[in-house]
Structure 1
Amino acid sequence: MSDQQMRTFEELLAEGAAVPTEGWDFSWFEGRATEARPSWGYATALAGRLDRAASALDLQTGGGEVLDFALARAVRRPAPTVATEGWPPNAAKATALLRPRGVAVVTSPEDAPLPFADEAFDLVVSRHPVTAHWSEIARVLRPGGTYFAQHVGPGSGYELVEFFLGPQPREQWEARHPDRERHAAGAAGLETVDVRAERLRMEFHDIAAVVHFLRKVIWMVPGFTVEAYLPELRALHERIVAEGPFVAHSSRHLFELRKPHG
């Protein structure tokens, strides 16, 4: 590798490491990484669900970007509309974004019981929850209420994960299989209305995009830092320079579940 290439590699690492990671705004990746979107258009579909809801809860809202997008396109806002977020920097960002729309953001750890009364909402939504706590979702839903969410599916981005960590146990990927989640939801008393699944192409065009992605989506390579994975990052940079974008595949599934009456 030439001195110029070495400087470019170092500059890209520094750039990827410097980008703020709060929230779920992925606009920084434009021109540097791409991910195909599911055909069902979750955020747009969510706007229609909000139009028909009397009260709504958005779980693990991140920076509030998806809920904000949906509310901007909804004809009306359910009252109340509440969001939860467990990471304080995201909660602060979500509060600033959603407060003008009349949405309260509650800082609540992802693994804690939801701080709401039984049967408080007729719509519970979430985009990419780290974990779906089905018993709590069922508890806060009113009879006849709906859980509408887009989840990360099995083996999402595994090509990138295994580049850094080596082959991973298949059972680790299967933990997010929609059939397993549907069974767990059913055990909590929720009926399946619709489940759809798609696998979608991802491309990383430079190593800065990889660094920022792994810093932002922290469960992909737990404990990721540039320093800890410098050899792998260098090898991947050289591969991208020589062969073009690194290709991986995301996995997404859409859930529509209902809490039955009585």
Structure 2
Amino acid sequence: MDSTAHDFDALVRDGATSPVEGWDFSWFEGRATEERPPWGYARLLGERMGRARVSLDIDTGGGEVLAGAPAVPPCAAATESWPPNAAKATALLAPRGIVVVATRAGEPLPFPDGVFDLVSARHPVRTDWAEVARVLAPGGTYFSQEVGPWSGAEVSEWFLGPQPEETWTGRDPEKARTAAEAAGLEVVDLRAVRLRMEFHDIGAVVHYLRKVVWMVPGFTVERYEDRLRELHELIEAEGGFLAHSSRFLIEARKPV
């Protein structure tokens, strides 16, 4: 077995066996890079959390972003639909007095109308604007950083081939504005950015596809071994695999 084949097997095994719970991306250090949006979502969220009285964080993941807030409102809750993440978030957030509620994707939020003056979400699976508007108190704010159009398309299409344009355009920020306004909210801030991401070894690609499962639905190493080997050779030859993510920041208020 030559060294390249050995390296491929070892790297893939590492990416395929490392835990993927939560939204801590420290595992990728030295193996993949992604530019961060210029606005600093965690800092801006922390400022809003410090002013809020009753808050809700939707699709909190493992609770890592919320746990970093300098101050927490007197009454704070978070939701998460993936059981491993919900368990991790509970362990991380309970000591700070934040209640984590396990939910099911696509179901209404399990809270009464008009109770939260701050609803937040970082990379929600899908923003249900009608539900957000329902649980917001009059004068309350929805604050979110979301995945934008064509995010990670280069990675996905390496394995799946060219995808229909509508696959990538559903998360357009202007569509989010339209949906927010249709739900009765006033959009007060909307910013978008396209960011460079680069994978430096094939193990990082495998780990990424296991963590961000919607990029290549049903991904397994066995199913895509040939394409993984081709990508490994490209990374070895060129020093990395370049892709791009996109993000948008949206803030909307419910009229008094």
Superposition deviation, residue 3 in structure 1: 1.5
Is there any run of 5+ residues in structure 1 with no aligned partner, and where?
none
1:98-109 equivalences in 2 (<5 Å): 98-109=93-104
CA distances 1:86-129 after superposition (whole Å, capped 9, x unpaired): 01110000000000000000001121100000001000000000
Partner of 1:81: 76
Tell me, in whole angstroms, the C-alpha distance in 1 between the residues paired with 2:146 and 2:3.
42
Sequence identity, in percent?
Answer: 64
TM-score relative to the length of structure 1: 0.96
1:109-124 equivalences in 2 (<5 Å): 109-124=104-119
TM-score relative to the length of structure 2: 0.99
Tell me, in whole angstroms, the C-alpha distance in 1 between the residues paired with 2:251 and 2:94.
27
Partner of 1:219: 214
Q: Which runs of 4+ in 1 moved over 3 A?
A: none
Secondary structure of residue in 2 paired with 1:203: strand
Tell me, in whole angstroms, the C-alpha distance in 2 between the residues paired with 1:243 and 1:87.
37
CA distances 1:49-69 after superposition (whole Å, capped 9, x unpaired): 001111100000000000001
1:180 corresponds to which of 175, 179, 183: 175
Tell me, in whole angstroms, the C-alpha distance in 2 between the residues paired with 1:16 and 1:169.
29
Structural RMSD (CA) = 0.7
Superposition deviation, residue 144 in structure 1: 0.5
Tell me, yes or no, if structure 1 residue 190 matches structure 2 residue 189: no
CA distances 1:29-72 after superposition (whole Å, capped 9, x unpaired): 000000000000001111000011111000000000000012xx
Tell me, in whole angstroms, the C-alpha distance in 1 between the residues paired with 2:32 and 2:68.
22
| Paired residue type of 1:245 | G
| Paired residue type of 2:22 | G
| Paired residue type of 1:44 | R
Partner of 2:54: 55
Partner of 1:64: 63
1:112-151 equivalences in 2 (<5 Å): 112-151=107-146
Tell me, in whole angstroms, the C-alpha distance in 1 between the residues paired with 2:3 and 2:172.
45
Is there any run of 5+ residues in structure 2 with no aligned partner, and where?
none
Tell me, in whole angstroms, the C-alpha distance in 1 between the residues paired with 2:10 and 2:102.
36
